């Protein structure tokens, strides 16, 4: 499926992945993230249930300590 991931078109060789599956597929290793699908916030405990479909706009922000 084709999606927009962090403002960049991405071709994913799978259909209907959950947000967590997409994160593993992309090998995103940061422990803490903020995620949105089609501009809707997807909290940590919702990432197994929210499915990313063809054409969806996914935004993933990596959080690291320091400040």
Partner 1 sequence: MVENETIEGFQGIGQADFVYLSHKKLAVYWSEIKEKISDKVIGIAGCGGLGSNAAMALARVGIKHFVLVDFDLIDESNLNRQYFFRHQLGKKKVHELAVNMLAVNPDIHIQCHDTRLEPESVQQIFNQCHLIIEAFDTAEAKQMLAETVISLWPGKPLIMGIGMAGVGGYGLIKQVQWDGQVYVCGDLITEIAENEPPLAPRVGIVANMQANLALELLLKL
Nearer to partner 1, 9 or 66 (CB): 66
User: Closest distance between partner 1 and the C-beta of residue 20, in Å?
Assistant: 15
Nearer to partner 1, 17 or 60 (CB): 60
User: Closest distance between partner 1 and the C-beta of residue 13, in Å?
Assistant: 26
Helices then strands (H, E): number in the chain? Answer: 1, 7
* Backbone dihedral angles phi then psi of residue 23, each to the nearest 5 degrees: -60, -40
Binding site for partner 1 (CB under 8 A): 31-34, 36, 39, 41, 43-44, 59, 61-67
CA distances 56 to 22, 25, 47, Å, are 12, 16, 15
């Amino acid at each position: 499926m084709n999606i927009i991931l962090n403002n960049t078109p991405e071709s994913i060789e799978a259909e209907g992945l959950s947000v967590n599956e997409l994160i593993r597929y992309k090998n995103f290793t940061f422990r803490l993230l903020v995620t949105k699908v089609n501009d809707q916030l997807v909290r940590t405990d919702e990432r197994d249930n929210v499915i990313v479909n063809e054409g969806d706009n996914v935004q993933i922000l990596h959080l690291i300590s320091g400040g």
